[in-house]
Amino acid sequence: MTGGDQDILLDCEAVSCTLATSRGPLALLKDVTFRLGRRTALGIVGESGAGKSMLIKGIMGLTPSDITVAGRIGLDGEDMVAMPEARKRALLGRKVGMVFQNPMTSLNPFVRVGRQIDEASRLHLRLGKAEARARAIALLSQVGIPDPQECYAEYPHRFSGGMKQRIMIATALACEPELLIADEATTALDVTVQKDILDLLQALQGQRRMSMILVTHNLAVVASRTDELLVLYGGRVVEYGPTERVFAAPRHRYTEALLSAVPRMDEPAHTRLRTIPGRPPDPQDRPAGCPFAARCPAAEERCRQEMPGMTLDADGRHGFACFVPVPAPGPGATAARAEATS
Ligand SMILES: Nc1ncnc2c1ncn2[C@@H]1O[C@H](COP(=O)(O)OP(=O)(O)O)[C@@H](O)[C@H]1O
Ligand code: SF4
Ligand SMILES: [Mg+2]
């Protein structure tokens, strides 16, 4: 999220997603602003219902017809919100690859693996049949499929969950995307497989010099795999900044609570997982003020009345929307704590 515009791949400004209901418009996502640099990995985190998938659907033009997307979503300098549908499809198809939580919702069980990978590259890169096949087999090999030629000719249902997700990743890479988005891509998998898939995504991002967005409810997933972090709560960005800085010194009370709920390696195995007491607000009765007020141990009267604006730290890279932020650590403390978590 640094540098001039040339370095920015995705630029979201005041993005909102509003649902039309019989009782009037309902904001599911409001005023989401962030910039994603080229070759940068961004983690989007927050509890279930925070609006993470809604944001990704908004970016990908996948929102249902009763949801209106507003604001600016710039991809490589072009505003997709204002763009005709066909052009947007072509742009997204060429530049963005997507991996979902359940590979079977995006892989067609009745179509052979090879054809599913070839379809995208033949359409968007205009490759011939033989060329597309050779590339697909190379991709299957890169994502760690043991026998890529055999896999190419098989149906997806023949493979385990982890292997299906590898196939899904190969499909997402078919058009050499500049941005790979993984929305809870490992949530449905066994813990050991999760780590393998996350390591694969991280390696591919580096090798292919892509940008990546990892969407997750699990902060441990993004800790060592992303450069930047965006924390969503109640459909709003509550904190963002360089991942190391946010982990070392969170300023928003929600981020602090979320971080203290992540199990630490140095805790005994039987330690009970801490959770944040209470539940996130329903979009239908979100409070007028800070969305976290009902659960926040530091809440003051003002928090319930007014929406806190974004406060930026000295270099403008770390922002938080909180009236009573966690005190900033003294000089030197951030670096020391960052070292301790890495
Ligand atoms: N198609 C939809 N119609 C109405 N409300 C929706 C729809 N999809 C999601 N929502 C609501 O929008 C909010 C954000 O959902 P979502 O983005 O899926 O959360 P997350 O991915 O962070 O768990 C939730 O309150 C959810 O109930
Ligand atoms: S604005 Fe107030 S209620 Fe919201 S997180 Fe900060 S202290 Fe808590
Ligand atoms: Mg989701």
Tens-digit pLDDT profile for residues 59-103: 999 999 999 999 999 999 999 998 999 999 999 999 999 998 887
Residue whose entry in the numeric block shows the structure tokens 């892509």: 210
Residues 6+ apart with CB under 8 A from 261: 219, 273, 274, 275, 276
d(CA 52, CA 58): 10
Ligand 1 centroid vs 69 CA: distance in angstroms? 14
**3-state DSSP assignment of residue 241:** strand
d(CA 46, CA 231): 6
36 CB near ligand 2 (under 6 Å): no
- Average pLDDT score over the chain: 91
Ligand 1 centroid vs 118 CA: distance in angstroms? 32
Tens-digit pLDDT profile for residues 213-239: 999 999 999 999 999 999 999 999 999
- What the chain holds in terms of domains, given with CATH numbers, is 38-68+80-233 (3.40.50.300), 253-342 (no CATH)
Q: What is the pTM of this model?
A: 0.93
Q: CB atoms < 10 A from the CB of 112, how many?
A: 15
Tens-digit pLDDT profile for residues 191-210: 889 999 999 999 999 999 99
φ/ψ of residue 183, rounded to 5: -100, 105
Report the Cα 180 to chain-centroid distance in Å. Answer: 10
- With beta carbons less than 8 A apart as the criterion, state whether 93 and 120 touch: yes
φ/ψ of residue 202, rounded to 5: -65, -40
323 CB near ligand 2 (under 6 Å): yes
Query: Going by CA atoms, what residue is nearest to atom 24 of ligand 1?
Result: 49
Q: Region 306-312: what's the mean pLDDT?
A: 96
Ligand 3 centroid vs 214 CA: distance in angstroms? 11
